[in-house]
Amino acid sequence: MDRRTFRTLVGAGTALGATDLAAGRPAAAARARAAGLNAQETATVPLHVLDIPDVGRKIGIEIRLGGGEPRLYTFDTGSSGFYAANNRDWWPSSKRIGGPQISQTYGSKETFQSKRVRTSVGIPTTTGEIEIESDVGQILDGYGGSLGPRSRSHWRKDVAAGRPPLFGHFFGDFGSGLREVNGLFAILPQLPGNLSSGFAVRLGCDGSPSSSPTLEIGLTDAIRAEVTSWIPMAGGPKSPPFPGSGLPTYAQELLAGHYSLNGGDTVYPFDTDAILDTGCPTTFIHEHGDLLVPDALLDAHRAQLLDDVLFWVTAEGTEFGNGFHLEFPAGDLPGNNQVLVAPTNERAYVNLGLIPYFRYGVVFDVERGLVGFAPCS
């Protein structure tokens, strides 16, 4: 076993002593250490909150692929499947699965052309590293959106040079949405034991980032007890269960929301589904059909709510009085109070984006089919 593989199995920030190495026992000890981490009930993963000019607020998570060094990826609860840039400097080992290339396009218009591979995925935590083998989209090319048109995309050049090709900071997208897309699934619900039961995202409070944002993997009674609002998650039609754990998958739009936009003289109520998306910098109303925001509530470009228009949304809970409620006066701060509006050709929905995550701890209870909201502190 080479040093890189040994380090991966042992875990981030953990090393065996010289006596273990000299005694020729590193492989067994490393396997035992990895098994111990994978068997633990819960683990805490540090996250990164980045405010990127001309892009907005993005959330990052460090992940190790194929025994290489960790790289930063967008932590994205609005999309499904892990897609990563391919360079042997940080991803030295993977196995081709076969089948046609797959294409993944995001709301920000970036598209990844990828092939499915099987590889080890290491998640550094505060107590070591959790590792599983899973299917990942190995990106062959990226274009569109911030990357520019395909003929002028800088993706391949950046990857070859070892630079983060996505928004200047990230090497791909750690999609943690709870449905299957292109044969790929979120990694977290595939983890062994209680680690697959769900996860809690704690980014900040009162609209501001925490000094130590975290992802808690594996739900315990203590984590669940902090939740004051439990909402049933919408099921995913004909979506297969998560590999490994066998837990159910769910829809992209998890919540059935009831909304009101209040501009004083003009009040606009409507109902539509909502996405809880850490990959979207701010709240976004997607108009279609009967959902059409009145001009009196919008700026001259019909691109966002006017300042001080009250945005209000609720979703029914599992019991009377424990539903979800979010309201704030609209403004110009993405991730805090900005509400964008645009038509869509597919269906009406609201992407709540990052705003709920800076007002609540958001708990995805995959095992019980619920999403919870805990008061932030």
Output the pLDDT for position 336. 92
> Would residue 32 count as lying in a domain?
no
Output the pLDDT for position 134. 98
pLDDT digits (tens, 9 = 90+) for 131-157: 999 999 999 999 999 999 999 999 999
Output the pLDDT for position 239. 84
The single-letter DSSP state of residue 254 is -
> Would residue 112 count as lying in a domain?
yes
Cβ contact 341:302 at 8 Å = yes
The model's confidence at residue 16, banded by pLDDT at 50, 70 and 90, is: very low
Domain identity same for 273 and 156? no
> Would residue 108 count as lying in a domain?
yes
Domain identity same for 179 and 301? no
Output the pLDDT for position 113. 98
Of 358, 328, 311, 320, the closest CA to residue 230 belongs to 320
Residue 238: is its pLDDT beyond 90?
no
Residue 367: is its pLDDT beyond 70?
yes
Per cent of the chain over pLDDT 90 is 85
Which of 154, 186, 218 lies at the terminal end of a domain, its last residue? 186
> Would residue 221 count as lying in a domain?
no
Output the pLDDT for position 204. 93
Two structure tokens written together for 315: 């979703």
Tally of domains in the chain = 2
The residue assigned the tokens 């299957």 is 180
> Would residue 228 count as lying in a domain?
no
Domain identity same for 177 and 302? no
Domain identity same for 179 and 51? yes
Output the pLDDT for position 121. 99
What is the C-alpha separation between 336 and 334, in angstroms, rounded?
A: 5
Which of 170, 186, 202 lies at the terminal end of a domain, its last residue? 186
Please give the residue range of the domain that contains residue 120. 43-186
> Would residue 16 count as lying in a domain?
no
Helix (H) or strand (E) holding 85: strand 80-85
Output the pLDDT for position 376. 87
> Would residue 237 count as lying in a domain?
no
Of 25-39, 71-85, 148-162, 203-217, the least confident? 25-39
187: left (phi over 0), alpha (psi -120 to 50) or beta: alpha
pLDDT digits (tens, 9 = 90+) for 21-60: 333 333 344 444 455 666 689 999 999 999 999 999 999 9
| Interval 332-342 mean pLDDT | 95
CATH code for position 336:
2.40.70
What is the C-alpha separation between 309 and 272, in angstroms, rounded?
A: 19
**What average pLDDT does the chain have?**
90
Output the pLDDT for position 230. 98
Output the pLDDT for position 28. 41
CATH code for position 63:
2.40.70.10
What is the C-alpha separation between 128 and 13, in angstroms, rounded?
A: 6
Which of 136, 167, 186 lies at the terminal end of a domain, its last residue? 186
* CA atoms 216, 221, 225, 230: torsion sign: positive
Q: What is the pTM of this model?
A: 0.89
Output the pLDDT for position 11. 30
Domain identity same for 60 and 172? yes
What is the C-alpha separation between 260 and 31, in angstroms, rounded?
A: 54
Domain identity same for 177 and 293? no
Output the pLDDT for position 25. 38
> Would residue 200 count as lying in a domain?
no
Domain identity same for 180 and 265? no
The model's confidence at residue 365, banded by pLDDT at 50, 70 and 90, is: very high
